[in-house]
Amino acid sequence: MSQDTLIPQVVEAIHAVTGGAPAVLHEPSFSGSEWDFVKDCLDTGWVSSIGRYVDRFESDLASFTGSRHVIATVNGTAALHVCLLLAGVKQDDEVLMPTLTFVATANAVHYCNAIPHFVDSSMVSLGVDPEKLTEYLADIVTPSSEGPRNRHTGRLLRALVAMHVFGHPVDLDPLAEICAKYGIVLIEDAAESLGSSYKGRHTGLHGRLASLSFNGNKIITTGGGGAVLTQDAELARRAKHLTTTARLAHRWSFVHDEVGYNYRMPNINAALGCAQLERLPILLNTKRQLAQRYAQAFSSIQGVSFFNQPDYACSNYWLNAILLDRADTNWRDAVLEATNDAGFMTRPAWTLMHRLPMHAACSSMNLDVAEQLEARLVNMPSSAKLGERQEVVHA
């Protein structure tokens, strides 16, 4: 297999699936009640942090995901920040997280003055590899009265943030087991996995806390927005309190009992979210159809494979991905060049977190698999509207 034979076939496959018109990586779709609900906010003046759409969005999300508690926030990074605070992450603690993630996962840890500690990924899920993590922790953890410590740095290992990469659920059961064994708090960064389930249960319900994102490129959007999920009533109360400036309820007084945050989702954003949630089942359906068409189009091409959801999961296929057989960034970049030249917005995976300058001093395990994935992975146009086409066009 040479580059010269592979690359035209990749372009052709994307062309066949998308219909050939220029296609961006992921764009939002507003074809429901979005205009009506947002107009209602403007007409009534309820545009800011208080209003009935925020409450409705939270309860609609709770019904959709099955989460007992949902707290809407200004964005996914803020939601993750609150999750980490409520997990007890403190200054100089270490937080385990995949190196293959969006920078927001690491940023939220820095906001707590804590230190990311990078772990490797699995070829099956693209997320944290439970087996490799088990072996690694057996090697580096030393118990202490305050909790598990990294024996190399002496710092407490407070939490693990598991991220569901491109919507594909990470293998949560073994991760929950490891965390329980050591007394490490499991947090799910479910920013990309709204609508994805693990063994029949929605993602974001397995960790003590989880965060969602409704940024413009996510499966549904509120413009900017996020949410904290938890099954624990006390954590939910704390999340609501921290995200609303820690103000004590009273008819007129402004008394705040700790340093809080202005992280509450505005009503106008929640209005958009309520309309988007109504259409989420349809969006999920079309996105899964699109994934199926990609899988079919790439099945006969040598030198590349379409990334399929793990067997235990039902994925939202937020971003479709192919893996080149060869781990060679020159090949990957040639594919990126040719597909972008043809009008298809393809993208590499994120630059791995351990390579970024602010993480130069952070601990990490061997990151072989994530480094392979970084060199081999290409994301393809994945907007829901591309899935609406029924017929597969054969070249």
Ligand X SMILES: *Cc1c(COP(=O)(O)O)cnc(C)c1O
Site residues for ligand X per CB under 6 A: 75-77, 101-102, 104-105, 163, 189, 191-192, 213, 215, 226
Least Å distance, CB 353 to ligand X, is 11
Q: How many residues does the chain have?
A: 395
Nearer Cβ to ligand X, position 319 or 375? 319
Tokens, residue 57: 């969005």
Q: How many CB atoms lie within 10 A of CB 39?
A: 12
* Strands ordered across the beta sheet of 313-314: 201-202, 197-198, 313-314
- The CB-of-191 to ligand X minimum distance in angstroms stands at 3
In angstroms, give the least distance from the CB of 9 to ligand X.
29
Nearer to ligand X, 76 or 387 (CB): 76
Nearer to ligand X, 11 or 384 (CB): 384
Of all residues in the shown chain, the one whose CB is closest to ligand X is 76
User: Cβ 165 to ligand X, closest distance in Å?
Assistant: 8
Shortest separation between residue 316's beta carbon and ligand X, angstroms: 12
- Paired strand residues for 142: 149
- Sheet containing strand 94-98, edge to edge, reads 69-73, 226-230, 209-213, 185-189, 157-163, 94-98, 115-119
Kindly tell me which of 76 and 195 has the beta carbon lying closer to ligand X.
76
- Taking alpha carbons only, the member of 257, 243, 264 closest to residue 85 is 243
**Beta carbon nearer to ligand X, 87 or 191:** 191
CB nearer ligand X, residue 17 or residue 170:
170
Distance of CA 285 to the CA centre of its chain: 19
Output 104 or 277, the one with its CB closest to ligand X. Answer: 104
Q: Provide the phi-psi class of 17: left if phi over 0, else alpha when psi is between -120 and 50, else beta.
A: alpha
Sign of CA pseudo-dihedral 109, 111, 115, 120: positive
Nearer to ligand X, 104 or 373 (CB): 104
Do 344 and 18 contact (CB within 8 A), yes or no? Answer: yes
Q: How far is the CB of 215 from ligand X (least distance, A)?
A: 4
Minimum CB–partner distance for residue 265 and ligand X (Å): 11
How far is the C-alpha of 167 from the C-alpha of 283, rounded, in Å?
14
The beta-strand segments (E) located in the chain are 69-73, 94-98, 115-119, 141-142, 149-150, 157-163, 185-189, 197-198, 201-202, 209-213, 226-230, 304-306, 313-314, 320-324, 347-348, 377-380
Least Å distance, CB 269 to ligand X, is 11
